[in-house]
Structure 1
Amino acid sequence: MDSLDTIVQTLELKPHPEGGYYKETYRSEGVISKDCLPQVFQDQRHYCTGIYYLLKSDDFSAFHKINQDEMWHFYMGDALELTMISEDGALSTVMIGNDILNGQVPQFVVPKNYWFAAKISKPNSFSFLGCTVAPGFDFRDFTLASCKSLTELFPQHETVIKSLTR
């Protein structure tokens, strides 16, 4: 068993539908009532949730979006290349890592409703991060993109969409 398998096993990470591995590490006790949330939320949500997230370089996190902002925190490994498409179609990329002097950021927030995907550029490596979501994450807030539907929305980004959808 290699060290990545040991991390996955030790932290009890499980496969994530978007790719990679995750484990919920925090879910606040307090909740926000449905009446106090925007209409996009079907029910109450916890104040906040947090997960561990591990992505290996032979995999990718496929384009998806959620109804909340998502804050990423870098822990260890190689930088994660996060690609986003805003609601108006602007494409951007950020490197989440610890090489701050070369433009990487150790923490980054993906705005709600942005489509986003991630990969590791360095072969035979991984990124281990955490994600915090508020109001708290629920899989009802998660939409995994199909290549066809996302390309129809943003045909100008067809190449990157094809490379980061399943």
Structure 2
Amino acid sequence: MSRVQKIIHQLALKPHPEGGWYREIYRSAESVPPAGLPPRFGGARAFATSIYFLLEGSDFSAFHRIRQDELWHFYDGDGLTIHVIDKSGGYSRKKLGRNPDQGEAFHHVVAAGDWFGATVSSGGFALVGCTVVPGFDFDDFEMAERHTLLQLYPQHRDIIARLTRS
């Protein structure tokens, strides 16, 4: 069994719709009622949620967006690059990993509503955590459609083609 297969087994990870592997590891017992949330949320949300997320090889996290900020934390592996197209159409990338002297960080926040995806920096694997506040709900998740993103951001054609599935 490879190291990645061991991690997937030990952490009981399952396939994620955006690519990679995940498992929710925390969901607060308390929630924020709809009246306490911005109108973009359709109901109550847990105070916070957190998952393990693993990417390997040439697999990628496809462009998607959620209604909350998402804090990414690096745990293990070869590093990861988060690709972001922000609300104004600007593209940026942030490297996560254990080598700050090589421009890698241990965490990064993706702002609510920004399109983002991820790739493994060296083709190996990366194990990260993602924390969402207020807590994640699949009602808050939108997978990008290639043609829609290309119409909105034609200047980012190459990365959109690389990090979309349809």
Q: TM-score, normalised by structure 1?
A: 0.97
Q: Which runs of 5+ in 1 are unaligned?
A: none
CA distance in 1, matches of 2:84, 2:52: 20
Equivalent residue, structure 2, for 1:142: 141
> CA RMSD of the aligned region, Å?
0.7
CA distance in 2, matches of 1:40, 1:48: 17
Equivalent residue, structure 2, for 1:6: 6
Percent identity over the alignment?
Answer: 45
Q: Secondary structure at the match of 1:50?
A: strand
Equivalent residue, structure 1, for 2:33: 33
CA distance in 1, matches of 2:121, 2:109: 20
CA distance in 2, matches of 1:11, 1:112: 27
Contact 1:87–1:113 (CA<8 Å) still a contact in 2? yes
Aligned length: 165
Equivalent residue, structure 2, for 1:70: 70
1:121 Cα deviation from its structure 2 partner: 2.8
The reply to whether residue 82 of structure 1 matches residue 56 of structure 2 is no
Equivalent residue, structure 1, for 2:158: 159
Contact 1:59–1:119 (CA<8 Å) still a contact in 2? yes
Q: Secondary structure at the match of 1:8?
A: helix
1:157 Cα deviation from its structure 2 partner: 0.6
CA distance in 1, matches of 2:98, 2:110: 18
**1:106-150 C-alpha deviation (Å, 9 max, x unpaired):** 011000001001101313x10000000000000000000011111
What amino acid does structure 2 have at the position aligned with 1:105?
Answer: A
CA distance in 2, matches of 1:149, 1:17: 19
Equivalent residue, structure 2, for 1:116: 116
Q: Which runs of 5+ in 2 are unaligned?
A: none
Q: TM-score, normalised by structure 2?
A: 0.97
Contact 1:57–1:121 (CA<8 Å) still a contact in 2? no
CA distance in 2, matches of 1:69, 1:24: 17
